[in-house]
Structure 1
C-alpha cells in the first residue's frame, strides 16, 4: 500500500502582473488502488495541481506539502519523482522529433528501474500494450508524438503508463480531443493498469463521459483553487445534471 498525501497546498505562478496564487490550500490523500476524479470549471486549478506534483518549474509552492509514502516529493527533482512512482499523462503531449517510440519507451523504462529491461520479457510487454490499445507495431518506429492525431497522442501516454508501472498516475484531461471509440480504448488501458498494478489514479476532467468507463471511488470539485465539495460517484451525476453554477456562486459570495 502506497499513499500520496497533499496537505494545505498553496501554489502561485508568475504572470505579467506579478505572482498570482492558483491553489489556495488543497488537501487530498490518494491510496493505492483508489481512483479520484478531480472536476471543476476552467481555471479552477486542476491542471496546476497535477503539474505541481509532477514538478513543473513554472509553479512555486508557497505553503503546504506533498509526500509519497512519507517522502517529501517537493524536494525531489522531476526524474526523482518519476523514479519514486509518479506519472503525469499530459493534457497536451509534446513532440520529440528524432526519437522513436521504441527507443523512448525502453530508455524511460531503464531510467525508472535503474537497469535495462530484459529484452524478451520487455518485447512481450510492449506487444501486450499495443494490443490493449489497438495500435499496430509500426507505431513503435514513429517519432514520439510527431504527426500523431489527438487520439494517438493519448494512446501513447497510456502505453507509457502500462509499461512504466508507476504507483500513482496523474491523468490531466486524458479525455480531451478523443472520439467515442478512442475514449473507450484509452479508458480500457487505464483500467488495465489500475487492476494489474494496484495503481492509484488522480483523474482530471471537465466532463462525466470518461467516468462511464473509468469508475471513480471519490469525486472532488475544484473551484477557485480550493476543494469546494467531495463525495462518491454520485457527485459526478449531480454535476452532470446541475453543472458548476452553484459552486461558482458560493465562491463569489
Structure 2
C-alpha cells in the first residue's frame, strides 16, 4: 500500500483545505459543515454510500456547484467563490463519473482538448507521455471515443486531466463499471502520476479496496457529514468497510 502514513507535507503544506463547507440544492441540504484537507502530493479518498454528497463535494471544490457556503482554499488562495474556468486554468482538474469524454470526437481530439492551458510547444510531448502510459489509446487515437470500451474511456478521461499537468486532480468514480483488474490498472496509474509529478489527488470511488490501496488517508461521509477520518491503512484492516454506515 502506498503512502499509508500521513506525511509532514500533508500536515504542513496542504494543497487543498476546506473549512465549514455546506452545500444545498434549493432547500435540500446535501453537505453540512465539511472540514477536509489534502496535502501536497497526497492521495486522499472520500468514501460513502450513493447519495452521501461525494459528487457535490467535488463539484463544490471545482466551482461547478454554486449553492454553497464555507471556505475552500487551494494552493494558499481562497477559491470559495472562484468560477470553474478559473480553477481549471489555475491547476485544478475535475474528471466526472458521467460522460467523462466527448464521445463523437477522436481519442486524440479529446486529449488535445485537455491542453487548454498548455503551451503549444509542450502538447506533442504530453501526447507522447500519455501514449507511453496507455498504449491502447495510441492504437485507437483516430477512433471516436464513444467506440472505446469502458476501461479505455476511463483511461482517456484520466489522461485528458493529465494533459494539462494539474496540481490537484478531483476524480469522481474513475473505476466505475470496470472489471477489477482494469480498475486496479487505472488506480495504479493515478498513483504513478501523483508520485512522478507531485500532483495532489482527491478521489471518490465505490471500489473501496482499490481506492484505499493508493490513498494515504480516507474520509468517510454519511448524509453529507464527515463521520471519520483515518489512515487508509487502518481502513484497509476493517473486516467490513460499511460498518460505519
Q: Sort the TM-score into its range (normalised by shorter chain).
A: 0.7 to 0.9
Aligned counterparts of 2:220 and 2:104: Cα–Cα separation in 1? 40
Q: Name the counterpart of 2:155.
A: 155
Residue 189 of structure 2 is aligned to residue 189 of structure 1: yes
Contact 1:13/1:22 (CA < 8 Å) preserved in 2?
yes
Q: Aligned partners of 1:211 and 1:95: how far apart in 2?
A: 22
Contact 2:14–2:37 under 8 Å retained in 1:
no
Which residue does the alignment assign to 1:60? Answer: 67
SS of corresponding position for 1:236: helix
**Kept in 2: contact 1:38–1:205 (CA 8 A):** yes
Provide the rounded CA distance (Å) in 1 between the counterparts of 2:179 and 2:110. Answer: 26
Contact 1:133 1:185 (C-alpha < 8 Å) held by counterparts: no
Q: Does residue 1:77 correspond to 2:115, yes or no? A: no
Aligned residue for 2:85, secondary structure, equals: helix
Distance of 1:98 and 1:184 partners within structure 2: 27
> Does the alignment pair 1:9 with 2:21?
yes
Q: Which runs of 5+ in 1 are unaligned?
A: 249-253
Partner residue in 2 for 1:132: 133
Name 1:251's counterpart in structure 2.
none
> Per-residue CA shift, 1:101-143, capped at 9, x if unaligned?
323323431x223x42x1xx53343233123123142422233
Q: Quote the offset at 1:201 in angstroms.
A: 0.9
Equivalent residue for 1:22, pick from 26, 30, 33: 30
Q: Which runs of 4+ in 1 moved over 4 A?
A: none
TM-score by length of 1: 0.83
Matching residue within 217, 240, 243 for 1:242:
240
Q: Count how many residue pairs are aligned between Structure 1 and Structure 2.
A: 233
2:110 is the alignment partner of 1:104: yes
1:179-218 Cα distance to aligned partner (Å, 9 max, x none): 133223212321221011101111112332213642x111
CA RMSD of aligned residues (A): 2.2
Structure 2 segments unaligned to the other structure (5+ residues): 1-12
Whichever of the two has the greater Rg, that structure is 1
